């Protein structure tokens, strides 16, 4: 929620706690990006604003510079988690896209879907 100078509030977003983790909040942001924001700068800017995260000197909607080195690692962790989950439940149709994403994140090529 955002509080304006006149005392009014506006809703800037909602979080579904089902997939949230008790860990580094950046992991939750990576999950939100993967499942709903898909790199949309307006959505990222709204999320960061709602959390009071500022990216000084950057365009709105860009992840803070201090996070950039961790983003690929967290995206790999999410892809591995999903790969494991889909394997366990026998939903193998999702595995090729996850394999491509992991290879891309590891720098081995493969196009992103």
For the chain, the structural domain boundaries read: 1-68, 70-113
Say which residue, 48 or 23, is predicted with more confidence. 48
Count of H helices and E strands in the chain? 4, 2
Long-range Cβ contact pairs of 45-49 (< 8 A, separation 24 or more): 46/12, 46/13, 47/13, 49/2, 49/12
Cα distance between residue 22 and residue 33, in whole Å: 17
The pTM assigned to this predicted structure is: 0.68
User: Which residues make Cβ contacts (< 8 Å) with residue 94, sequence separation at least 6?
Assistant: 82, 86
CA dihedral in degrees (64, 74, 37, 50; nearest 10)?
-50
Query: Looking at per-residue confidence, does 19 or 32 come out higher?
Result: 32
Question: Can you tell me the mean pLDDT for 61-75?
Answer: 86
């Amino acid at each position: 929620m955002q509080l304006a100078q006149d005392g009014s509030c506006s809703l800037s977003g909602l979080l579904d706690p089902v997939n949230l983790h008790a860990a580094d909040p950046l992991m939750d942001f990576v999950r939100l990006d993967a499942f709903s924001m898909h790199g949309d700068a307006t959505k990222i800017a709204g999320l960061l604003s709602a959390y009071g995260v500022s990216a000084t000197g950057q365009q709105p909607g860009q992840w803070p510079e201090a996070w950039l080195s961790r983003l690929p690692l967290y995206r790999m962790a999410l892809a591995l988690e999903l790969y494991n989950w889909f394997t366990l439940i026998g939903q193998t149709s999702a595995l090729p896209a996850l394999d491509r994403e992991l290879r891309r994140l590891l720098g081995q090529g493969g196009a992103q879907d």
